[in-house]
């Protein structure tokens, strides 16, 4: 909570009249999610925005052969921008019996949203749910028959594609109730998650290369401030005006200007609905299990 307290203090310095409250929740633990939802329902009467930004990439590994081959190929820019073919992870199982990446990046958020549904679906004002996805979200890494990604090594990519599907399904089910959902991609940002893939000194060494590549692809936002561009931009939009099938990318030009670019997602609505129904089934099983306990 120390980083959250620091951020809160900084915000209060610039906005002394703001009401900023903190609540600790582990979205990888369904017990923690339910406790947090209960607390939120006691604090507030409605919610206008829900940013679902938490995510993990445990034990990331990089295929150096693929990296070297890609570095000197025509796909170098695409490789840097998406991490396609480079990243694998070693997942684990949570105390709830779920794959950790799926539980943290997808299902915990889903349960939180389901718990807060009455506070988001208000007739007098639209609400917006905003998911942080990734350019690493790929159809090829996801399977409806293994949506927790128990059999593969690309659990992060699978989970981010799952959030894309879920966002589309939520719009189909909730738009008439005033709840809208959008997906953003922050671009390539230097964070603790990024430094978990490769050591900081390596990123420092290739920073000039990344700045050069930014002249050709603007998804290299690099800083958290730049990466948050789409998150802030969505706050200023009317939810009903947004494209439910688009992912909104934070972009930074070669000259350092930030902007937002909508990109059509590589998915279909039938798959989104099928995945949504599987999540509802899993939710039912979990709640039955909780009642038995």
Closest CA to 110 of 289, 275, 293, 290: 275
Name the catalytic one among 156, 174, 249, 276. 156
The token pair at 102 is 């799926």
Q: What is the DSSP string of 78-138?
A: HHHHH-TTTEE----B-TTSSBHHHIIIIIHHHHHHHHTHHHH-BTTB-EEEEEE--TT--
The yes-or-no answer on residue 44 being catalytic is: no
- Site of tokens 């009249």: 17
**How far does Cα 174 stand from its chain's mean position?**
20
Q: Residue 287, SS3?
A: helix
* Residue 87 φ then ψ, to 5°: -105, 135
Bridging pattern class, strands 49-52 and 127-132: parallel
The set of catalytic residues is 156
């Amino acid at each position: 909570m120390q980083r959250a307290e620091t951020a809160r203090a900084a915000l209060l310095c610039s906005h002394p009249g703001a009401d900023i409250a903190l609540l600790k929740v582990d979205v990888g633990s369904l017990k923690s999610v339910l406790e947090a939802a209960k607390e939120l329902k006691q604090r507030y009467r409605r919610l206008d925005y829900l940013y679902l930004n938490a995510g993990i990439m445990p034990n990331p590994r990089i295929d150096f052969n693929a990296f070297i081959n890609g570095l000197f190929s025509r796909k170098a820019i695409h490789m840097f921008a998406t991490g396609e073919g480079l990243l694998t992870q070693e997942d684990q199982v949570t105390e709830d019996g779920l794959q950790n990446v799926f539980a943290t990046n997808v299902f915990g958020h889903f349960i939180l949203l389901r718990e807060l549904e009455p506070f988001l679906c208000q007739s007098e004002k639209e609400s917006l749910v905003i998911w942080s996805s990734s350019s690493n979200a790929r159809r090829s890494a996801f399977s409806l028959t293994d949506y927790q990604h128990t059999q593969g090594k690309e659990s992060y990519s699978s989970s981010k594609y799952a959030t894309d599907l879920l966002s589309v399904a939520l719009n189909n089910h909730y738009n008439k109730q005033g709840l809208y959902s959008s997906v953003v991609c922050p671009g390539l940002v230097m964070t603790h998650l990024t430094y978990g893939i490769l050591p900081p000194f390596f990123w420092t060494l290739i920073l000039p290369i990344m700045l050069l590549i930014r002249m050709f692809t603007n998804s290299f936002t690099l800083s958290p401030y730049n990466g948050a561009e789409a998150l802030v931009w969505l706050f200023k939009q009317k939810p009903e005006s947004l494209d439910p099938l688009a992912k909104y990318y934070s972009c930074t030009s070669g000259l350092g200007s930030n902007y937002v670019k909508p990109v059509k997602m590589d998915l279909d609505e039938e798959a989104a609905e099928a995945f949504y129904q599987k999540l509802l089934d899993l939710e039912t099983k979990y709640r039955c299990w909780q009642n038995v306990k």
